[in-house]
């Protein structure tokens, strides 16, 4: 039967396939190369799109109907002029409720607390966005892992992959993160169609570098891959136990939807309005929202406004923004939990001490995102006491990337056993400030 079908002229096969619905077309495209090519014919998908979404719901006079039919005929004649697969993509996006204008309207509402769109979680959930991990071995073999668990926080989300079937870490040639939207078609035993947007890629050179170990327990050691990726390795082996990614909400919807499978979304570069009156423009009016959390719970959340740095205080090519000062006891903040990172795989679970996730949003004077970070951080014993007002164990947490660095100092009290954040300071490169505000400090 298969050979008989293949002997038919392609024009006849296309006419036969035109009677199928979208689900059947998608399924038959996996039979062989011939059916794959024919089932992706844009003429068929254009008719499906018009049948499903092109019908007007309101009554129109005959003249308007004739005009509309003429336009439809003209559009059908131009189907072949569009890029290959255009109408299939349009149909699948419409079926998935993928309406760019709608979700962009939803993202206009800004939270006064975080300075970020307040409907980010709602938009991602309504669109059914998920996140996939693709591992490639040196031999070219690929393995795709769907998310195991997602947890939303105030300004970020965490995604965990903890299935079995991981290849050894030292065999990996590349690691890719994609935002994925699937379409609800009836495709038994097949992965539903959809599209992927590249969020991050780690090549062989990056993976071969000695990644810092930021924590461990009796079963796993936790390695950090910047930006924002945690890889758990079984101790004594090179086998992967789990992977955790942390995504900041800033433009996360766009990054998860508007990129391609091989190219990440590149948004517009935001710049502050030009101001030649204020002599210290770009050095004051900052607001900071920071959350320390793990994969399941918040440990600490804080909002700090009116942060500034005098021009005379600029040092080593950085401006210093102090949110919590060790000398101001009234600013010292208790943490609601311990600094830990719980993990879980199919059969085992555990907790890595002294490491967690940090989600930071620094807003400029106009309350627009200036520096956004969501990354694992680790805590270590301080080299010397930071404050003589406390008798407990003194600890330090550090974060560094090209856009700035974060320094946190903590104290673990003996009685009661509680952590206090006694210093929080940000250092932002002058180059970043000058570029954003159009200055030359």
Q: Where are the domains of the chain?
A: 2-95, 110-257, 286-437
Distance CA 112, CA 226 (A): 29
Could you tell me which of 297, 398, 291 has the C-alpha nearest to residue 341? 297
CB under 8 Å to 180, separation ≥6 — which residues? 129, 130, 131, 132, 194, 195, 196, 197
- Size of the chain, expressed as the number of residues it contains: 441
Band of residue 97 on the pLDDT scale cut at 50, 70, 90: low
pLDDT at position 205 is 72
Helix (H) or strand (E) holding 216: strand 213-216
Distance, C-alpha 96 to centroid of its chain: 20
Residue 4: its H or E element: helix 2-7
- pLDDT on residue 81: 62
Q: Where are the beta strands (DSSP E) in 318-392?
A: 318-324, 333-334, 340-344, 349-353, 355-363, 369-381
Give, in words, the CATH class of 2-95: mainly alpha
Average the pLDDT over 129-153 and give the result. Answer: 90
Q: If DSSP codes are grouped into helix, strand and coil, which group holds residue 2?
A: helix
pLDDT digits (tens, 9 = 90+) for 3-19: 666 677 778 887 887 88
Which stretch, 13-27, 128-142, 198-212, 347-361, has highest mean pLDDT? 347-361
How high does pLDDT run on average in the chain? 86
- pLDDT reported for residue 55: 58
pLDDT value at 73 more than 70 = no
- Section 156-183 average pLDDT: 89
CB 225 within 8 A of CB 243: no
Q: Does position 72 have pLDDT exceeding 50, yes or no?
A: no
Mean of the pLDDT values across residues 381-389?
A: 80
Please tell me whether residue 274 adopts helix, strand or coil conformation. coil
Q: And the tokens for 158?
A: 């965490």
Virtual CA dihedral for 367, 372, 377, 381, nearest 10 degrees?
Answer: -40
What confidence score (pLDDT) does residue 188 get?
66
Distance, in Å, from the CA atom of 293 to the CA atom of 375, rounded to the nearest integer, reads 10
The pLDDT of residue 15 is 82
- With a pLDDT cut of 70, the percent of the chain lying above it is 90
Q: Is the pLDDT of residue 109 over 90?
A: yes
Average pLDDT estimate for 422-436: 96
- Which residue in 99, 117, 125, 402 sits closest to 248, CA to CA? 117
Is 60 a residue whose pLDDT tops 60?
no
Instruction: Over range 398-421, report the average pLDDT.
Output: 91
Sheet holding 129-137, edge to edge: 142-146, 129-137, 172-182, 194-202
Q: What is the pLDDT of residue 58?
A: 41
pLDDT tier, 75 (very low <50, low <70, confident <90, very high otherwise): low
Res. 57: pLDDT tops 50: no
How many Å apart are CA 112 and CA 95, to the nearest integer?
34
Query: Quick one: pLDDT at residue 65?
Result: 40
How many Cα neighbours within 13 Å face the side chain of 29? 22
Tens-place pLDDT, residues 216-268 = 999 999 999 888 899 999 998 888 999 999 999 999 999 999 998 899 998 88
Confidence grade of residue 353 (pLDDT, cut at 50, 70, 90): very high
CA distance 32 to 325: 67
d(CA 248, CA 216): 25
The percentage of the chain sitting over the pLDDT mark of 90, rounded to a whole number, equals 52
């Amino acid at each position: 039967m298969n050979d008989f079908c293949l002997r038919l002229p392609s024009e006849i096969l296309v006419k036969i396939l035109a009677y199928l619905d979208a689900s059947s077309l998608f399924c038959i495209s996996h039979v062989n190369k011939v059916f794959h090519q024919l089932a992706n014919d844009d003429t068929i998908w254009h008719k499906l799109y018009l049948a499903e979404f092109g019908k007007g719901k309101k009554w129109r006079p005959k003249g308007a109907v004739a005009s509309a039919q003429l336009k439809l005929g003209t559009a059908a004649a131009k189907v072949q002029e569009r890029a290959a697969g255009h109408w299939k993509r349009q149909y699948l996006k419409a079926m998935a409720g993928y309406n760019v204008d709608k979700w962009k309207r939803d993202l206009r509402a800004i939270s006064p607390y975080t300075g970020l769109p307040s409907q980010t979680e709602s938009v991602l959930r309504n669109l059914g966005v998920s996140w996939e991990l693709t591992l490639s071995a040196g031999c070219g073999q690929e393995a795709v892992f769907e998310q195991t668990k997602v947890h939303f926080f105030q300004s970020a989300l965490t995604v965990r992959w903890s299935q079995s079937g991981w290849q050894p870490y030292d065999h990996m040639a590349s690691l890719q993160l994609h935002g994925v939207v699937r379409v609800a078609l009836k495709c038994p035993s097949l992965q539903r169609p959809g599209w992927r947007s590249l969020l991050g890629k780690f090549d062989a050179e990056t993976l071969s570098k000695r990644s810092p170990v930021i924590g461990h327990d009796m079963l796993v050691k936790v390695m950090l891959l910047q930006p924002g990726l945690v890889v758990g390795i079984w101790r004594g082996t090179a086998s992967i136990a789990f992977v955790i990614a942390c995504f900041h909400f800033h433009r996360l919807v766009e990054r998860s939807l508007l990129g391609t499978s091989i190219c990440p979304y590149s948004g517009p570069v935001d710049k502050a309005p030009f101001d030649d009156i204020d002599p210290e423009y770009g050095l004051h009016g900052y607001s900071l929202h920071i959350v320390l959390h793990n994969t399941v719970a918040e440990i600490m959340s804080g909002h700090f406004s009116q942060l500034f740095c005098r021009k005379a205080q600029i040092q080593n090519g950085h401006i210093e923004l102090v949110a919590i000062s060790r000398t101001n006891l009234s600013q010292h903040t208790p943490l609601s939990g311990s600094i830990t990172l719980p993990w879980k795989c199919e059969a085992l679970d555990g907790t890595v001490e002294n490491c967690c996730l940090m989600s930071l949003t620094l807003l400029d004077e106009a309350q627009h995102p200036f520096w956004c970070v969501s990354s694992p951080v680790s805590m270590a014993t301080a080299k010397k006491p930071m404050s003589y007002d406390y008798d407990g164990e003194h600890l330090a947490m550090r974060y560094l990337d090209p856009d700035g660095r974060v320094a946190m100092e903590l104290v673990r009290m003996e009685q009661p056993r509680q952590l206090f954040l006694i210093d929080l300071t940000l250092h932002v490169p002058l180059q970043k400030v000058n570029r954003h505000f159009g200055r030359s400090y």
